[in-house]
Amino acid sequence: MEDKGKYYLTTAIAYTSGKPHIGNNYEIVLADSIARFRRKEGYDVFFQTGTDEHGQKIELKAQEAGVTPREFVDNVAGIIQGMCDMLNISYDKFIRTTDDCHEKQVQKIFKRMYAQGDIYKGAYEGMYCTPCESFWTESQLVDGKCPDCGREVKPAREEAYFFRMSKYADRLIRHINEHPEFIQPVSRKNEMMNNFLLPGLQDLCVSRTSFKWGIPVDFDPGHVVYVWLDALTNYITGIGYDAEGGSTEQYKKFWPADLHLIGKDIIRFHTIYWPIFLMALDEPLPKQIFGHPWLLMNSGKMSKSRGNVIYADDLVDFFGVDAVRYYVLHEMPFENDGNATWELIAERVNSDLANTLGNLVNRTISMSNKYFGGVVA
């Protein structure tokens, strides 16, 4: 087989606030299919997935459950990795943001950005959304609520570190314009340019003092690193990046990533903040970020509070793993949201897998038995 070179792809890392549903598992099945396809084509593939384990939301969930945050995330990360294995996901690395080597690198990265002046200390006043861990200005709110999740926000002030986003904005705009394949599908590129980049990027608050469950800023106790600065760097720490110049051979071989596969709801973090963090570290940018649509349940977003959640393990018990993988891949176009119900999955399994493919295989075998003695010449 022809050697096509390396291919590094990643999924978003799953947030360990609870057991993921089939709408969350869609992405890993899609990524797995791409990884398998690239391997067959002759690429040297590295496929990374994992879990995003810090933040106030997890601290609160652990408190409610009466366990430590560490116990809480150990349990959920175990469930998530178990689901990947159940779905036959051929990942090469499962990274956890509580892994020691990841935490050490995030501290080094933060310190380096501070030392070179990309991060500075200031204070933040604004409207704060707890679930999103994001500050907003009054003008960014939508009907007085968080523009990302639509929940209530409250006024808050805290001393914090900020990242000078504006310093790199022009370079990022140029990169996006010169690399039309960088953000896909193209509709998401327009959204990022028009809503965030062209109006002017605000500096990003990259530390928190309102909770403890995060990676501490080692030179300023009481501050923990903003969960997105922590989480996004998994794509480089997982393959051996070192902020002090000691990156591994594996890192030198596989970075930059060929594909970051993510949900459309987190495209802003991946196409604006992440590339700018990489520019600050003087590392090349990933080749492509693909923001996929959602898999909906009865055409509504799946959520526990709505009670319309379907879990992959229930589906696999009933239909088998390949039927479930087939369904999510078949149902999901790349631009629009897909739909999942028990009835639709049963219908798809019966019509495509049993009637069409099953029938084809059955007839082919019968005829090869009848006319060729069961031997394919």
Q: Which residues bind Zn ion (CB under 5 A)?
A: 129, 132, 146, 148-149, 151
Looking at residue 271, the DSSP 8-state letter turns out to be I
User: Distance from CA of residue 306 to its chain's centroid?
Assistant: 23
Q: In the complex with Zn ion, which residue's Cβ is closer, 136 or 241?
A: 136
Looking at residue 145, the DSSP 8-state letter turns out to be B
Q: In the complex with Zn ion, which residue's Cβ is closer, 128 or 213?
A: 128
CA dist., res. 18 & res. 79, Å (int)? 9
Query: Coil, helix or strand for 67?
Result: coil
Q: How far is the CB of 145 from Zn ion (least distance, A)?
A: 8
Yes or no: say if 263 and 291 are a contact pair by the CB < 8 Å rule: yes
Q: Which residue has the tokens 């106030």?
A: 56
Q: In the complex with Zn ion, which residue's Cβ is closer, 28 or 267?
A: 267
Q: In the complex with Zn ion, which residue's Cβ is closer, 93 or 264?
A: 264
Strand partners, 6: 44
Neighbours of 346 (CB within 10 A): 14
Q: How far is the CB of 151 from Zn ion (least distance, A)?
A: 5
User: Distance from CA of residue 123 to its chain's centroid?
Assistant: 29
By the 10 Å C-beta count (0-12 exposed, 13-18 middle, 19+ buried), 34 is classed as middle
Q: How far is the CB of 141 from Zn ion (least distance, A)?
A: 10
Strands 224-225 and 207-208: antiparallel
Q: In the complex with Zn ion, which residue's Cβ is closer, 22 or 129?
A: 129
Q: How far is the CB of 130 from Zn ion (least distance, A)?
A: 8
Q: How far is the CB of 303 from Zn ion (least distance, A)?
A: 14
Tokens of 26: 């869609």
Q: How far is the CB of 135 from Zn ion (least distance, A)?
A: 11
Amino acid letter, residue 325: R
**Could you tell me which of 267, 153, 137 has the C-alpha nearest to residue 204?**
137
Angle at CA 64, nearest 5°, toward 60 and 65? 115
Q: In the complex with Zn ion, which residue's Cβ is closer, 129 or 201?
A: 129
Q: How far is the CB of 213 from Zn ion (least distance, A)?
A: 18
Q: In the complex with Zn ion, which residue's Cβ is closer, 138 or 317?
A: 138
